[in-house]
Amino acid sequence: MKTRLAAALVALSLLGSAAMAAAPSMKIVSFTGQIQIKNPDGSITGVVPGAPLPEIPAGAEIQVLTGEAVFQSGDTVVQANAGDTFSFSAPAAGGQVSIAAVGEKTEIKVVVGKTEATLGKGDAVSVTAEAGKASQLAATAGEVSVVSDGKASTLAAGQSLAAAPAAPAVPAV
């Protein structure tokens, strides 16, 4: 009986660890200046050059106080400058990332492959990725300017497009 209980506890522990590892997050790829992260629990994390870079949890609001920054969650890249504020969310199961521009003078870029969306205050997009398929970029609020594989268009809330995939890396000779 004790052996079964111990085995069950180990299995639950491993499942919990796997679920925590799969929890969607965003990372800071590069930045200059200062970043402030308002975590879902209301706590604030400040990021400055030389400090450890935190994983940004889903449900966070990110503000670039000074400088510029590049963030990434899966295949979705966000480029932001001083004064830009945006929120990041993702369902626990993964596969979808949502970005919303919330700052007064925010103008961020959301890049997926060769597709670039420009978001201003009130605009939001979701990116859905499926293995072996082109990611889908959908406007979920506002009107979003998009350039995909060199072609410009505007997506209104509820509209989507298949993001042009990035060119494959050329192996070094």
Average pLDDT of the chain?
85
* Residues 136, 105: Cα–Cα separation, whole Å: 27
Average pLDDT of span 98-127: 95
Residue 19 has pLDDT above 90, yes or no: no
Q: In terms of DSSP bridges, do strands 107-112 and 115-120 run parallel, antiparallel, or are they unpaired?
A: antiparallel
Q: Give per-residue pLDDT as tens, 42-89.
A: 999 999 999 999 999 999 999 999 999 999 998 899 999 999 999 999
Write b or e for each residue in 5-29: b if 16 or more Cβ atoms lie within 10 A of its Cβ, otherwise e. Answer: eeeeeeeeeeeeeeeeeeebebebe
Phi and psi torsions of 10, nearest 5°: -65, -45
Q: Give per-residue pLDDT as tens, 116-136.
A: 999 999 999 999 987 777 899
pLDDT at 1: 42
